[in-house]
Amino acid sequence: MVNLRTLFRGKLVVFPVIQQALEIVLSGGSIGREEALELCNLPQEAMLDLLVAAHRIRLAYKGTAVELCSIVNAKSGRCTENCAFCAQSAHHHTAVDVYPLLPAEELIRRARSAAVSGVHRFGIVTSGTRISLLEEWREILRAVEVIATEGKIWPDASLGFLTSEQARELQEAGLCMYHHNLETAPSFFRQICTTHDIAEDIATVEVAKEAGLKVCCGGILGMGETPAQRVELALLLRELDVDSVPLNFLNPIPGTPLEHRPLMEPWEALKSVAIFRFILPDKNIRLCGGKEKTLRQLLPLGLLAGADSLMTGNYLTTQGRESSLDLEMIRDLGLVIAPA
């Protein structure tokens, strides 16, 4: 835990490691693994300097605007994958709601409601490895097409593994961004999931990109990975050239293998956000699931540590918070809501 007396003792100075990395990124360059690991190893008293530097990068590349997204759990439970963090896995014994795909009319209604609350993007998220039933696929395409045609909010989707044909059909229906997380670094992936390989996730990211879709791809922090493995994930995301990087923080769910895993310390989570910004200076870095529980009273600092986007409202199986509170927080920080 960070000692605030240490943080605020004397004059704050920029540590040489931070200054050097900052100059590289602000000049249009990229830091490598070694520079990123040096940032990971910074002492407590460097934390505020690191956050300030990450915020400078965010301002230089992304400005002061904050983009908001929300999601709907469009199909819940009975997933055949055994991801250790997930309440929806059929391998675990959780209290998650189980229901089939919501009708297109309900998805459209929820998208309209999200648009009214000031949200920019609306994600249709389904449980399971992929959408294999034709009637479900057609229902999703119909919802995407209506939402896109109305033009009040950008339609996104997270539907599992994709074929090239499915990606093309989503793009033609008007989908803006496809979401598919890697969840963690390749070197840690088998500790989290053994029912598929991370190469399959990478392939879906590439299929979506080839179809002309923007891609939202990130992971979950705090599952037992090392700081070096977080850097490994960030560097892979940079190599894949994804558009948006959602950072989730483990919210341990009873009945899952990670139910007793302690939460990340708030300052460690903020440090991770900052390092992702150093590695991915021009991408949307989005604070998502678990941010309220992990960051607690330091949640506003997430937007001063390099993040420029927020998921607002509820998550797939856990509670979030009202969009109005996030809008207030953004304004209180002197930032602005991204234009629609």
Is residue 217 a known part of a binding site?
no
Pick the closest to residue 249 from 289, 307, 303 (CA basis): 289
Answer whether residue 108 shows pLDDT above 70. Answer: yes
Answer whether residue 3 shows pLDDT above 70. Answer: no
Answer whether residue 14 shows pLDDT above 80. Answer: no
Q: What is the pLDDT of residue 314?
A: 72
Q: How confident is residue 116, by pLDDT bands cut at 50, 70 and 90? A: very high
Q: How confident is residue 339, by pLDDT bands cut at 50, 70 and 90? A: confident
Q: How confident is residue 13, by pLDDT bands cut at 50, 70 and 90? A: very low
Answer whether residue 176 shows pLDDT above 70. Answer: yes
Compute the distance between CA of residue 223 and CA of residue 84 in angstroms, rounded to an integer. Answer: 9
Q: What is the pLDDT of residue 323?
A: 87
Q: What is the pLDDT of residue 200?
A: 98
Q: pLDDT, tens digit, for every residue of 194-218?
A: 999 999 999 999 999 999 999 999 9
Q: What is the pLDDT of residue 340?
A: 73
Q: Mind spelling out the 3-state secondary structure of the chain?
A: CCCHHHHCCCCCCCCHHHHHHHHHHHCCCCCCHHHHHHHHCCCHHHHHHHHHHHHHHHHHHHCCEEEEEEEEEEEECCECCCCCCCCCECCCCCCCCCECCCCHHHHHHHHHHHHHCCCCEEEEEECCCCCCCHHHHHHHHHHHHHHHHHCCCEEEEECCCCCHHHHHHHHHHCCCEEECCCECCCCCHHHCCCCCCHHHHHHHHHHHHHCCCEEECCEEECCCCCHHHHHHHHHHHHHHCCCEEEEEECCCCCCCCCCCCCCCCHHHHHHHHHHHHHHCCCCEEEECCCHHHHHHHHHHHHHHCCCCEEECECCCCCCCECHHHHHHHHHHCCCEECCC
Q: pLDDT, tens digit, for every residue of 55-79?
A: 999 999 999 999 999 999 999 989 9
pLDDT cut 90: percent of the chain above it: 89
In degrees, rounded to 5, the angle at the alpha carbon of residue 274 between the alpha carbons of residues 311 and 256 is 55
Q: What is the pLDDT of residue 207?
A: 99
Answer whether residue 46 shows pLDDT above 80. Answer: yes
Average pLDDT, stretch 96-122?
A: 95
What CATH number does the domain located at 58-335 have? 3.20.20.70
Pick the closest to residue 69 from 323, 335, 299 (CA basis): 323
Q: What is the pLDDT of residue 163?
A: 98
pLDDT, averaged across the chain: 94
Q: How confident is residue 8, by pLDDT bands cut at 50, 70 and 90? A: very low
Compute the distance between CA of residue 228 and CA of residue 235 in angstroms, rounded to an integer. Answer: 11
Q: pLDDT, tens digit, for every residue of 230-277?
A: 999 999 999 999 999 999 999 999 999 999 999 999 999 999 999 999
Farthest CA pair distance, the chain: 65
Is residue 86 a known part of a binding site?
yes
Is residue 79 a known part of a binding site?
yes
Answer whether residue 12 shows pLDDT above 80. Answer: no
Is residue 83 a known part of a binding site?
yes
Is residue 193 a known part of a binding site?
no
Q: pLDDT, tens digit, for every residue of 277-330?
A: 999 999 999 999 999 999 999 999 999 999 999 999 876 766 678 888 999 999
All structural domains of the chain with their residue ranges: 58-335
Q: What is the pLDDT of residue 161?
A: 98
CB neighbours of 68 closer than 8 A, spacing ≥ 6? 118, 119, 120, 121, 309, 310, 311, 312, 323, 326, 327, 337, 338
